[in-house]
Amino acid sequence: MVFPPMRDALLGSALAFCVLLWLAAPILYLVVYPICLVWAAIRRPWTGVLKVDFHPPWMGLGIGLLVLALVAGTGLASLGPAGGYRLKANRWGVGCSITYVINPSHGSPDAIRATREAADHTAAATGMTFTYEGVTTTTLMDYLPLLQPGSRQVQRPVLITFLPTTTYRSLAHRDGLAAALSIPALGTTRTVTGVIAISAHTHFGRGPRSLRAILQHEWGHIVGLDHAPSDPFELMGSPEHIVWNWGPGDRAGLALLGRQAGCRT
């Protein structure tokens, strides 16, 4: 199932905000107007007769329409024919087949399902074949030697592992939800394997869909997508993940990667 970008939901929310703000204007008047009077008296105590030109109903409507215009403008600006994307230097370089294993030791009950759904969505967008090889006890530490200079990197399953938050932070040296580590063959930019590490104890606000979106984002890095130009409606450009599936720019970049790998015509 494809979850569309949430432009309609955002526009609807902005319109509802306008209406609520307009209906709440009398209450705002009773609360804000005395504050304005006090503020004006403190700022200009010498004026004698105090008059504050303050019209909360019109102010409420104006602010609401401004918010609506800003949200609508943001949505329309991202409705280009393709959207934006960037490619990494390292890209998947072992044909059209990607195998992967999951270490769900510290993951949520949805960890395996969300990981497989994210892989399926990435496969559909690239034309590559993602093969799930089951659960593993392999850890991130088993893959780290592959990053040592001179090590012989060979194709092996991509590891998806869920780490306690403290472990994730100590290894990644940063806060966050997840990280993708592409491992290229020695002396090349051809990714032959990789690791997706998820900070398992992080609260995923939208449940399985949010976790799946984060995993898709990291799969995008593994196959060769970089962070997109700032666009909240692209999965690779949305740090807060207000979309749950690939945007038009994401799909354009993934299709290009699939063609470069010989997986799509």
Distances (CA, A) of 12 to 16, 54, 72, 78, 173: 6, 28, 10, 17, 39
User: Beta 86-87 vs 225-226: how paired, if at all?
Assistant: antiparallel
Instruction: Give the start-end residues of each E strand in the chain.
Output: 86-87, 91-92, 97-103, 129-135, 158-163, 178-184, 190-199, 225-226
Q: Per-residue confidence of the chain (265 residues) as pLDDT tens digits? A: 233 334 444 444 555 565 566 566 666 656 665 775 565 556 544 444 334 444 445 455 555 544 444 444 444 333 333 468 899 988 898 889 999 999 999 888 889 999 999 999 999 999 999 999 999 999 988 888 877 766 666 778 999 999 887 787 777 655 556 788 888 877 788 888 899 998 876 656 556 678 888 899 999 999 999 998 777 788 998 655 567 899 999 999 999 999 999 998 7
**Fold observed for domain 86-260:** Collagenase (Catalytic Domain) (3.40.390)
The dihedral over CA atoms of 103, 122, 184, 134, expressed in degrees to the nearest 10, equals 30
pLDDT of residue 63: 53
Contact 183, 146 (CB under 8 A): yes
d(CA 99, CA 140): 16
Report the pLDDT value the prediction gives residue 185, as an integer from 0 to 100.
79
Q: Return the structure tokens found at 131.
A: 């093969």
Q: Quick one: pLDDT at residue 233?
A: 81
Q: How confident is the model at residue 14, as a pLDDT? A: 54
- Residue 212: enclosing H or E segment and its boundaries? helix 208-223
The values of phi and psi at residue 108, to 5°, are -80, 170
Residue at token pair 């993708």: 180
Encoded tokens for 14 = 């902005």
52 within 8 A of 40, measured Cβ to Cβ: yes
* pLDDT value of residue 9: 45
Q: Which of 128, 104, 124 is nearest to 211 (CA)?
A: 104
The pLDDT value recorded for residue 2 is 33
Return the structure tokens found at 183.
């491992």
State how far the Cα of 92 lies from the Cα of 225, in Å rounded to an integer. Answer: 10
SS3 for 75-128 is: HHHCCCCCCCCEECCCEECCCCEEEEEEECCCCCCCHHHHHHHHHHHHHHHHCC
What are the CB-based long-range contacts (under 8 Å, 24+) for 232-236? 232/74, 232/78, 233/5, 233/6, 233/7, 233/75, 233/78, 233/83, 234/78, 234/83, 234/84, 234/85, 236/85, 236/86
Q: What is the pLDDT of residue 22?
A: 59
Domain residue limits, the chain: 7-77, 86-260
φ, ψ (nearest 5 deg) of residue 245:
-150, 175
Residues 143, 122, 243, 116, CA torsion sign:
negative
Can you give the pLDDT at residue 204? 61
Q: How many angstroms separate the CA atoms of 221 and 224, rounded? A: 5
